[in-house]
Amino acid sequence: MDNNKVVTVKNLKYRYTPDGEWTLNDVTFQVNKGEWLAIVGHNGSGKSTLAKIINGLLMPEEGSVFVEGKELKEESIWDIRKRVGMVFQNPDNQFVGTTVRDDVAFGLENNGIPREIMMKRIQESLEKVRMSEFMNHEPHHLSGGQKQRVAIAGVLALEPSLMILDEATSMLDPQGRKEVIETVRSLQKVGQMSVLSITHDLEEVTQADRVIVMNQGQVFAEGTPEDIFELGDKLVSLGLDLPFTVKLSQLLNKKGVHLSKSHLKQQELVMELCKLYSKM
């Protein structure tokens, strides 16, 4: 098994009913160690189903999933769940404790972590998401972004190799979204943790190391954010949006302002326009 991969998904097929349509139809991809992989795709394209399989909440019907070289099977589910942490969309549905501390403790208790180590891990993971001062607070006093950061602390406390965010910022305001993404990014950069983020947030996608586009239960495209947004209208026809700078680059091209590429970074677009202008 390749040591540089945290997850390997091979020819994965899944459907919710025995004779139904395939929800995932021959999906193959890998998550590299330490990378931030964004997954985008229309509603119903199978993203959450994929996340649930990697986390062992659902089992593949065909094909295989390996997490750090260990194959997902009935007998390895608990081991896999320790290595893969998941943060869901709705901050209110994933709070299980009556206080922030209890909430982070929950997963550790389930894993039979000794009390002394548990207290240390709770402290450390809440520090990492900058929520330690809220240790004794009840969840209903927290903002959406703060709740998601506590959920992230709960995952971090288990020291996973992969964190899956399944539209974890979609219910947050721009400030909360930024806080959560920056928190996870700073943790991903320093540590060994890889991130698989299912998202509609274009700003987040442009900053990912790699992007996978899902369409009707299949991998439609895979590449760097630049590769992916070069697909332009093809993405739009799948119901996906393009970042503002990409749209602007394309419109300029149509109007006869020929740019070297569709820019993702506003600064680069401005630079190229300045260069073109100075030659006129």
Ligand X SMILES: Nc1ncnc2c1ncn2[C@@H]1O[C@H](COP(=O)(O)OP(=O)(O)O)[C@@H](O)[C@H]1O
Interface residue list for ligand X (CB under 6 A): 16, 23, 41, 43-49
First to last CA, the chain: 56
Least separation in angstroms between residue 39's CB and Mg ion is 10
Q: What's the token pair of residue 2?
A: 């390749």
Residue 45 binding result from Mg ion, ligand X, none, given CB thresholds of 5 to 8 Å by partner type: ligand X
> Which residue number has the CB closest to Mg ion?
48
Give, in order, the Cα–Cα distances in Å from 29 to each of 144, 187, 212. Answer: 32, 24, 9
Specify whether the CB–CB gap between 56 and 83 falls below 8 A: no
Q: Closer to Mg ion at the Cβ: 185 or 200?
A: 200
Based on CB atoms, which residue is closest to ligand X, 113 or 195? 195
**Smallest gap from residue 197 Cβ to ligand X (A):** 13
- Here the tokens at position 275 are 């260069």
DSSP string, 159-222: --SEEEEESTTTTS-HHHHHHHHHHHHHHHHHSS-EEEEE---HHHHHTSSEEEEEETTEEEEE
244 binds, among Mg ion, ligand X, none (CB under 5 to 8 A by kind): none
Contacts with Mg ion, residue ranges (CB under 5 A): 48
125 binds, among Mg ion, ligand X, none (CB under 5 to 8 A by kind): none
- State which residue, 49 or 249, has the beta carbon closest to ligand X: 49
Q: How far is the CB of 87 from Mg ion (least distance, A)?
A: 13
| Closer of 161 and 199 to Mg ion (Cβ) | 199
Q: Which two tokens stand for residue 118?
A: 């548990």
